[in-house]
Amino acid sequence: MPATPSAPPKPPVLGDRALNRATLARQLLLRRAPRAEVSAENAVSRLVGLQAQNVKPPYHALAARLDGFDPAELSGLMADRRVARMVTMRSTLHTHTAADCLALRPLLQSGGPDRELRAFRNRGGLDGVDLDRLAATARELVETEPRTMAELRTALLAEWPAADPASLAVAARCLLPLVQVTPRGLWGRSGQVRLTTADHWLGRPPGPPADLDDVVRRYLAAFGPASVKDFQTWSGLTRTRDAFERLRPGLAVFRSAYGVELFDLPDAPRPGEDTPAPPRFLPEFDNLLLSHADRRRVVGDARHAGLVWQGNQSLPVFLVDGFLAGVWRLDEGTEPDGPVTLTARPFTELPPKRAKALTEEAERTLAVLAPRRSGSRVAIEPPPAA
């Protein structure tokens, strides 16, 4: 009688803490990367961009991840047009390397800008507007001179006076790969949001779109182990399972504690779940918290997820033992050289040892973000009443 074929071995299970430590290791949050190993430009590429809904988050993100980080380094890269701010993943603003600005946006077009454009067309604000002509007209406008959205809206309305003004400007932003030009985004500077095309600003031809399989690998390197749905949450793309199936022979396969199939690069770091995770101060909208369909690897207590929003604005957060543990703010005052206060508010009472580590990390963060500001201090507020 022929032997009964044995069932294939079940994939190893990774619990939330194991996933937490693996993801923190990829995110440079278990140990700050030495400056000699990872530059600010390297980190922006390695993390596949940094959330940049506001000006300061990319700087705060790198302060948590790079040893010896100086905000002037990222600001200099932006001034030299080696990194730029543009709409990519999930149709949200990110800081990317020049190469990623040109290659990622075309790949991700269907996952955000196209969807946003369809919504505006369905509202009727673009009736009678030839979108190809709109794109060509808008490109000429912003490449002649970087424009604010208001200026772009006014100029386009002269061509299509019957259209909805806001819809015209949004359509241009969806159709074209627009970047925010400096001084917007520079450290310690201010400026209106002015836009031009990525290829015009960066002085490079657009080139081919990024390859989906390569982007899946980059995502796993930065956020894995992860599921297909996790990747889709991060990218905004749909119908990407075929890419994972193509890559499956070369990937490690696991399961979460909830039975979800997870993929990873075979040689990517997966530290033990008891690996120490120092406190870290992260900006609002940090991709660590936005890049998985199942956020339990970082948000250990579901009650905390709703505590990081105020109106429609996310608050900066901090991690303790690798998990979401509170929110923080930087009060810079009105004097350019005056003292700065970093205030942290834990969600729950912290044990003395962890409270001490949090204070020390806050002081480190303050030294990077507000150097030479005498009288600066850290304040730890009591947790909210239950």
- The tens digit of pLDDT for each residue in 67-81 reads 999 999 999 999 999
Percentage helix, strand, coil, to 5, in the chain? 40, 15, 40
1 pLDDT higher than 60: no
Higher pLDDT, residue 143 or 190? 143
Q: What is the mean pLDDT of the chain?
A: 93
Write the CB contacts of 70 (distance below 8 Å, at least 6 apart in sequence). 368
Per-residue pLDDT of 81-118, as tens digits, reads 999 999 999 889 999 999 999 999 999 988 878 888 88
> Would you list the DSSP string of 308-351?
GEETTEEPPEEEETTEEEEEEEEE--SSTTS--EEEEEESSPPP
Q: How confident is the model at residue 373 (pLDDT cuts 50, 70, 90)?
A: confident
Per-residue pLDDT of 141-165, as tens digits, reads 999 999 999 999 999 999 999 999 9
> What integer pLDDT is reported at residue 7 of this predicted model?
64
- Percent of the chain beyond pLDDT 90? 79
Residue 144 corresponds to which tokens in the numbers above?
């002649």
Per-residue pLDDT of 299-352, as tens digits, reads 998 888 887 887 777 899 999 999 999 999 999 877 777 889 999 999 999 999
> What integer pLDDT is reported at residue 362 of this predicted model?
96
Where does residue 162 rank: exposed (0-12), middle (13-18), buried (19+ CB within 10 A)?
exposed
> What integer pLDDT is reported at residue 336 of this predicted model?
75
> What integer pLDDT is reported at residue 364 of this predicted model?
95
138 pLDDT higher than 80: yes
Cα dist from 3 to 6, 7, 96, 313, 325, whole Å: 9, 12, 56, 62, 54
Q: Centre a 10 Å sphere on the Cβ of residue 130 and count the other Cβ atoms it contains.
A: 12
Cα dist from 149 to 98, 121, 154, 161, 195, whole Å: 22, 18, 9, 17, 8
385 pLDDT higher than 80: no
Where does residue 317 rank: exposed (0-12), middle (13-18), buried (19+ CB within 10 A)?
buried
